[in-house]
C-alpha cells in the first residue's frame, strides 16, 4: 500500500524551523528536503510510518540517548542501516519541540554535502583512457596517366 502524504506533510510542518520543507516520494516512503538537501525520511519499516532524521557520527549518540531508533532494513536477507534516527515522541507534538532536532538534521545534511563536494571525483571514461589517435585514411591512388597515342603506336 502506498504511503499517504498527510503524515509527510505534517512532518514538513514540524521541520519548518530548518527552512521551507518539501516532501517527495522516495522508495515507497517520502524524502523531506530543505533547499535540495534531504534532512529526513518518512518510511514504514513495519511499525507504521515514522519520521527519521538525518544524523552523523557527531550527533548519533544524542539520538540514541533520547531513545531514537536507527533506520535499519533488510536487503536480500542482510540487515542494512542508514544514518537516520527517530526522534522522541514529544518532539512530534510541536514545531518548538522539534526545532533542535530539525536544526541538527539540517547541519548533518550540510556537512554531508560539503564532504561530498570536497572528495575527489572519480575519473570518467574519457579521463581514464587516453584518446585514440585519429587514423588517417589511405590516400586514394593517383589516377593512372593515359598513354598517348603516339607512344602506343611507336
For residue range 26-75, what is the model confidence (pLDDT) as tens digits? 888 899 999 999 999 999 888 889 999 999 999 899 999 999 999 998 88
Q: What is the mean pLDDT of residues 107-122?
A: 79
The CA distance from 125 to 134, in Å, is: 18
| Percent of the chain surpassing pLDDT 70 | 74
What pLDDT is recorded for position 47?
A: 82
Q: Is the overall model pTM greater than 0.75, yes or no? A: no
The CA distance from 6 to 120, in Å, is: 40
In the chain the domains, ranked by start, together with CATH numbers, are 5-119 (3.30.1460.30)
Angle at 58 between CA 57 and CA 62, to 5 degrees: 100
For 34, the enclosing helix (H) or strand (E) is strand 29-34
**Cβ count near 100 (within 10 Å):** 13
The CA distance from 24 to 41, in Å, is: 9
Amino acid at each position: 500500500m502506498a504511503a499517504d502524504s498527510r503524515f509527510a506533510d505534517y512532518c514538513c510542518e514540524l521541520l519548518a524551523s530548518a527552512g521551507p520543507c518539501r516532501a517527495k516520494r522516495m522508495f515507497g516512503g517520502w524524502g523531506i528536503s530543505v533547499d535540495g538537501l534531504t534532512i529526513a525520511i518518512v518510511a514504514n519499516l513495519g511499525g507504521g510510518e515514522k519520521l527519521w532524521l538525518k544524523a552523523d557520527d557527531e550527533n548519533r549518540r544524542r539520538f540514541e540517548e533520547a531513545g531514537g531508533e536507527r533506520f535499519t532494513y533488510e536487503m536480500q536477507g542482510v540487515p542494512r542501516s542508514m544514518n537516520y534516527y527517530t526522534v522522541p515522541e514529544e518532539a512530534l507534538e510541536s514545531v518548538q519541540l522539534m526545532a533542535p532536532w530539525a536544526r541538527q538534521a539540517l547541519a548533518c545534511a550540510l556537512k554531508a554535502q560539503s564532504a561530498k563536494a570536497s572528495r575527489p571525483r572519480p575519473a570518467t571514461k574519457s579521463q581514464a583512457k587516453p584518446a585514440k589517435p585519429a587514423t588517417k585514411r589511405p590516400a586514394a591512388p593517383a589516377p593512372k596517366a593515359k598513354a598517348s597515342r603516339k607512344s602506343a603506336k611507336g
